[in-house]
Amino acid sequence: MRVGLDIGGTKTDAVVVTDDGALLHRLRLVTGRGPDAVVETAVEAVSRLSDAVARPIDAFTSVGVGIPGLIVPGTGRVTHAVNLDVEELELGAILAQRLGVPVAVENDVKAAALGAWQLLDGSGTMAYLNLGTGVAAGIVTDGRLWQGSSGVAGEVGHLSVDPLGDRCGCGQRGCVETMAAGGAVSAAWGADVALPVLDLFDHADAGDPRALALRARLGHGAAAAVRILTLTVDADDIVLGGGLTALGERLLAVIREALAESAAGSRFVASLQLEQRVRLVPTGSPVAAIGAALVGRGESSHG
């Protein structure tokens, strides 16, 4: 049995899986903020999973962790996890010492890519496009996570598609993230509501011109990410995940509409059949936690 932990800014999703990724138990708990609290959250999650399956912690083969931020491949060191108030943390080494089992750490989106591959019986090359507060992707080929030389493979959110566009938090202009990230869309809409992107979609459905324009912009930004992933890694499937996918088919329709527009003006783009490559991750599925467990199994590649 292997443990997978998806440590997010507000909650931690924890699972126990078999060696082939079948889910045995799942639980959620609130994530603490700051380095010490993140470690304690992880230890508590593993302890509670141990109790749930009636096995001692040292009976687990491995613990895999998916967490926001930059992870130096193979080190277990987390840096710049800003929404957890963590600037630098040797998470892998600390947890391995505390738990007495091997620990592997990966960026949460890349871990989710592995989980999506597992849940959707992936084949060939799959790209997991996370549309959440930010935009990023994880790429899996033949069941192995592709890291690139320094771990930044898949950071499509910071590809500039409009050099004259809005300033991005990374310092560039017109990044995909300025168009399709939940944070950017919410800021542009400006509504003081609990779910601003949902509110925007509702207003667009009612014919609000500004909402229609912002929704179309979101669709074009996400469609740009889909084209980038297709033209760079020729992904067979592009699976959409992240907080915005709570909109379900409403989001998918907007993205497919933007993809159809680009195909209508280009026989080359039309030949790629982009609309057929895009689908949603199953609602409510613990893709990131299951993927983290697979990270613990060593499912990655630096090629």
* Closest to 113 (Cα-Cα) out of 163, 159, 158, 153: 153
Tell me what percent of the residues of the chain surpass a pLDDT of 70.
98
129/20: higher pLDDT: 129
DSSP count for the chain of H helices, then E strands: 11, 14
The mean pLDDT of 86-115, rounded to a whole number, is 94
- State the pLDDT at residue 302: 42
Q: Are 77 and 89 in contact (CB under 8 A)?
A: yes
CA–CA dist 122, 114 (Å, integer): 9
The mean pLDDT of 114-134, rounded to a whole number, is 89
The mean pLDDT of 161-168, rounded to a whole number, is 90
196/69: higher pLDDT: 196
- State the pLDDT at residue 297: 79
Does position 3 have pLDDT exceeding 90, yes or no?
yes
- State the pLDDT at residue 122: 75
- State the pLDDT at residue 188: 94
CA 78, 146, 225 angle in degrees (round to 5)? 90
Does position 298 have pLDDT exceeding 80, yes or no?
no
Residue 245 three-state SS: helix
The mean pLDDT of 250-267, rounded to a whole number, is 95
The mean pLDDT of 246-262, rounded to a whole number, is 95
Tell me what percent of the residues of the chain surpass a pLDDT of 90.
74
The mean pLDDT of 293-299, rounded to a whole number, is 80
Tell me the whole-structure pTM to 2 decimals. Answer: 0.89
Does position 300 have pLDDT exceeding 70, yes or no?
no
CB-side neighbour CA atoms (13 Å) of 256:
15
CA–CA dist 179, 196 (Å, integer): 15
Hey, which residues does 106 pair with through a beta bridge? 66
The mean pLDDT of 183-190, rounded to a whole number, is 94
- State the pLDDT at residue 299: 56
Chain-wide mean pLDDT for the chain?
Answer: 91
Does position 73 have pLDDT exceeding 90, yes or no?
no
pLDDT classification of 10: cutoffs 50, 70, 90: confident
Q: Are 38 and 7 in contact (CB under 8 A)?
A: yes
